[in-house]
Amino acid sequence: MDSTTALPVRVPLATRPLGILGSLRAGRRNVLELIPEIATHAPILSGRTGKRWHMVMDPGALRQILRDRVQDYPKSVVTKLLLEPAIGDSLFVAEGQSWLWQRRTAAPVFSHRNVAALAPVMTAAAEAASARIAAAGPRAVDLFDEMVRTTFDVISDVTFAGGDGLNPAAVHLAIEDYIAGTARVSLLDILGLPGWVPRPSRLQARNRMGAMKQMADSTIANRRTRGPSIPPDLLDLLLAGQDPETGRRMTTAELRDNLLTFIVAGHETTALTLSWALYLAAFDPARQARAREEAQARLGTRAATADDLPHLPFIRAMVEETLRLYPPAAFLSRTAQEMDRLCGREIRPGDTVILPIYALHRHHRLWHDPDSFHPERFLDSRPERFAFLPFGDGPRICIGASFAMQEAVIILATLLARFAFAPVPGKRPNPVMILTLRPEGGVWLSATPV
């Protein structure tokens, strides 16, 4: 185990009421610091910070929000304000009929057959990452930067196989600039002011993403002119997709917003999962050794493929335990539309309903020793369905969940089979959530070939 602490790094949750200004400071520093420590013990918490809010950690109530009465709990105004300038009214943000037809159109793109067909791109990216890590020699490597590059290679290739895609460096800079400049909570969000009230920090958001949107529009137009790639990539599949009930196809703007959603979400979240998984492997050398033994027994010296996934159960369990401890989407919010009751608590229209996935995944009533790294919990039995929500659940469960799991296991197995990772003294990552749960300061590890 890590010699400096008995547990992997965690967020310091609130131990006293924060008030409006305290909430603003915490929200801008790290959204997860808004969560009270008691949320890891209680089924529901309620309060008022500008407007009424409820934090829900009870699996039965979460089932009600995400599945049984999903139409009564659309994404909150704050969520839409954060994301719409970047990804428009895409699948992730849209509600009602707009969401439904986009989901029906995109669902075949992420079928098991199509996801499995994309695995060779993931295998090639794992090989390239291995080569870069080996070339770095014995010096420390920031594995977060490396995993961002690796997963961007994957999403670029599966989205634009024809080579006419977005410039990776330009896209990454646009995303980082957007997160730094616009994706933090504002005082107006805390006070619960409506979406039409301008948030000064976000007035430039559309300009920040404008160049990337223009590149995407140009790529879509070029592809329509020259025709699909062989085999088809993600853009081709979306261009060919149509609503099975109405026959409607996506417009250029809808295609672009969904492509940007898949690019941003598809590489950022998997890069984070892999970075945190490698941190945890270095934190726990015994479990890293067990994972390496499993990977080497199956792979030998080659990189992992889709066919290997059923033979790598412990590495998959490591990925799932990583998603429990450091879920990329660690803090979700909804706005109640109708009167309801959750855990016996009255919910009124307009109330903010918070789903603190970070607290749910570390809840003492749902998990044994919840702050510890214990992948075996996913081998011994499956958790209660609405107690483990790294990809959400219900009709709006993440459409790319199987893609992300396949990619993470292929890359992690390949790296653990080839390198022994060890922490760098004084370089512990700090878990901070802005849009996603990121390792502030990077994940600095030494990587020794084995």
Annotated binding site for heme: 398
Q: Using an 8 Å Cβ cutoff, are 416 and 298 in contact? A: no
For the four alpha carbons of 35, 36, 40 and 43, in that order, the dihedral sign comes to negative
Annotated binding-site positions: 398
Q: What Å distances lie between residue 10 and 38, 220, 276, 305, CA to CA?
A: 15, 42, 12, 33
Cβ within 8 Å of residue 434, ≥6 positions away: 30, 31, 179, 183, 184
Tell me the C-alpha distance between 433 and 31, whole Å.
6
Q: Using an 8 Å Cβ cutoff, are 355 and 394 in contact? A: no
Pick the catalytic residue: 378, 391, 419, 421? 391
Tell me the C-alpha distance between 254 and 231, whole Å.
23
Smallest CA-to-CA distance from 218 within 160, 151, 157 is with 160
Pick the catalytic residue: 269, 322, 335, 436? 269
Q: Is 269 a catalytic residue?
A: yes
Residue type, 304: A
Q: Any idea of the CA torsion for 53, 34, 66, 86, to the nearest 10 degrees?
A: 110
Residue with tokens 């878990």: 431
Q: How many CB atoms lie within 10 A of CB 314?
A: 17
Pick the catalytic residue: 160, 398, 414, 436? 398
Cβ within 8 Å of residue 228, ≥6 positions away: 236, 239, 240
Tell me the C-alpha distance between 257 and 342, whole Å.
34
Residues forming beta bridges with residue 176, ordered by sequence position: none
Q: Is 398 a catalytic residue?
A: yes
Residues forming beta bridges with residue 333, ordered by sequence position: 354
Which amino acids are annotated catalytic? 269, 391, 398
